A and B are shown apart, each in its own frame.
Chain A
């Protein structure tokens, strides 16, 4: 009996040893003693394989004289469609419950390596608006035109937004110069602005409120360097600053400056921590000669952290800015008083876990708190969000998201808000 047990145990325990990888196939030399330090120069002669002379590299665009970069233009993009039900616990003439499907983003990218060390990227968002957008007085804009290709039948036109358009040059392995219209390098979800890369259906309210400008036009100097197992990245920016027309003119002729530092370390997974800053003058557009043009100096600071450990994903962003108005250029609040100087502060924390089951589902939850200088419609906002993010294939994302938001009662809308929404986003 005891002998049988021993035979069974030995057989069972010995089996995995036969599954270990053997020496390199093809008659490779025997493995060296793993207890001795390896000598890279001691790599023995490799077994010579049959020649691959019949492979024509030029047919792959890889002839030895070919450029050492992909010089073809790459056209790609992403799109999303959402369904949302929004419910306000208190009715108001300013807001109403809605239940809608919405075609959200349709963004097209054109990327090209122009020459060694020169690259270009343009990102265009196609939109249905202004058709269907609501004016401040509650009326709706309609952009109907006669379609000359269809017996002048009515057609609604939309427009585009140039999200990014820039050229980059690698001046040095540690320095790349970017000039053009770019996304402000701060935090996590201002750069991950595309719906397929964003875990939830919508970004935290704080991010959408643009405590930092979402875009800027000017110079962005950036680079990164490995230090031991870590990577340090930086950005230094100078731009037209924030304004409704910043992409074509610096109205106040005062450049804005910004920067970012980021550390990426392989600590218990991958940890990224970053800090960003921005300082500049905002100058509004003169739309009426009877109203003062809004103008203020702003200084914004932000910190962010992201940690991935296996399927676990944790991220958080905290940001704030000080607004100091130029006398004679203060706007009126929605309550009719002149706006004072002050701070906008916000942040959120998100946790999620990416499983390999159920279309790689990631259950997630995040909490946010936003305290604006201008209380406006909703005042301070706190929100709890939960949802599921499915990624059946890398290029398709399905999301289900529920949110409960409540304000502090100082805004014009004193209501709690429930949102149930879902989205499909894809990259093409």
Chain B
């Protein structure tokens, strides 16, 4: 009898553990700038400030951030990993900033191909896209010195 109870309990534990949501099977999101830029690494703090509407420069050039579209897996993943915010929190953040009269949200581009093109051609542009969307005229920027190929890199799509 005792063994049956123990077995049943263990089965529940095993099923519960099995049903536990694992980490999302996200693609790595690469922070990108134009090929040849002197920016090869950026601190997570600067990246966060840049995408929260505060002025951040690389050398003497101001960085111009470009976002993925709201509610896209790329945007949700980046906002969570870098800004530490859910989509609702990000929405409230930008609305409250508008009411204060502060700067508006970075411009959102319709696709990763647009991000790649803008990062390559637009002066000072910085964006992010899935690793399989990299093109030859942009370069990856390591975050806190961690390149996107490193297992510790944690900016992924949601």
Contacts and interface: CB of A to CB of B under 8 A. Distances in A.
Interface of A: 1, 4-5, 8-9, 11-13, 15-16, 18-22, 24-34, 37-44, 46-49, 51-52, 55, 57, 60, 62, 64, 66, 68-70, 74, 76, 78, 109, 111, 121, 123, 164, 170, 173, 191-192, 194, 196-197, 224, 226, 229, 231, 356, 360, 391, 393-395, 427
Contacts of A74: 104
B132 A49 contact: yes
Interface string B108-134: 010001101110011110000011111
A47 B134 contact: yes
Contact of B145 (A1, A28, A40, A393): A40
A34 B95 contact: no
Given A12-B14, A68-B123, A173-B55, A38 B142 contact: yes
Given A34-B151, A38-B142, A64-B121, A196 B10 contact: no
Nearest to B63: A68
Contact of B11 (A8, A43, A47, A78): A8
Nearest to A107: B99
Contact of A32 (B98, B140, B149): B149
Interface in B2-50: 3, 7, 10-11, 13-18, 20-28, 30, 40-41, 45-46, 49
B156 interface: yes
Given A32-B151, A360-B88, 17 more contacts: A1-B3, A8-B11, A11-B14, A15-B17, A25-B27, A28-B132, A33-B151, A39-B145, A46-B139, A49-B133, A52-B113, A62-B121, A64-B123, A121-B101, A197-B100, A226-B49, A391-B88
A90 B19 CA distance: 62
19 contacts: A12-B16, A16-B20, A16-B23, A19-B22, A25-B130, A28-B28, A29-B149, A39-B145, A42-B147, A43-B139, A46-B136, A49-B134, A68-B62, A111-B101, A111-B104, A164-B101, A192-B99, A192-B100, A224-B54
A68 B106 CA distance: 12
Given A12-B18, A15-B18, A43-B147, A52 B104 contact: no
Interface residues of B, number: 73
Given A19-B22, A28-B131, A60 B14 contact: no
Which of B14, B20, B149 counts the most A-chain CB atoms under 10 A from its CB?
B149
Interface in B33-87: 40-41, 45-46, 49, 54-55, 57, 62, 64, 86
B145 to A, nearest CB: 5
A345 B54 CA distance: 34
B149 A43 contact: yes
A427 B95 contact: yes
Closest 9 CB pairs between A and B? A19-B22, A26-B132, A394-B91, A12-B14, A194-B99, A46-B134, A31-B151, A40-B142, A24-B131
A52 B114 contact: yes
B99 A8 contact: no
A40 B117 contact: no
Contacts of B18: 11-12, 15
A21 B150 contact: no
Contacts of A38: 142, 145-147, 150, 152
B14 A13 contact: yes
Given A20-B23, A34-B152, A196 B99 contact: yes
B113 A393 contact: no
A68 B131 contact: no
Interface of B: 3, 7, 10-11, 13-18, 20-28, 30, 40-41, 45-46, 49, 54-55, 57, 62, 64, 86, 88, 91-92, 94-96, 98-101, 104, 107, 109, 113-114, 116-118, 121-124, 130-136, 138-140, 142, 145-152, 156
Contacts of A43: 40, 139-140, 142, 147-149
B45 A229 contact: yes
A19 B17 CA distance: 13
A329 B122 CA distance: 61
Given A12-B18, A20-B22, A393-B91, A55 B117 contact: yes
Contact of B10 (A9, A121, A197): A9
A416 B130 CA distance: 61
A52 B149 contact: no
B145 A57 contact: no
Given A43-B140, A192-B99, A8 B14 contact: yes
Nearest to A176: B55
A111 to B, nearest CB: 7
Nearest to A56: B117
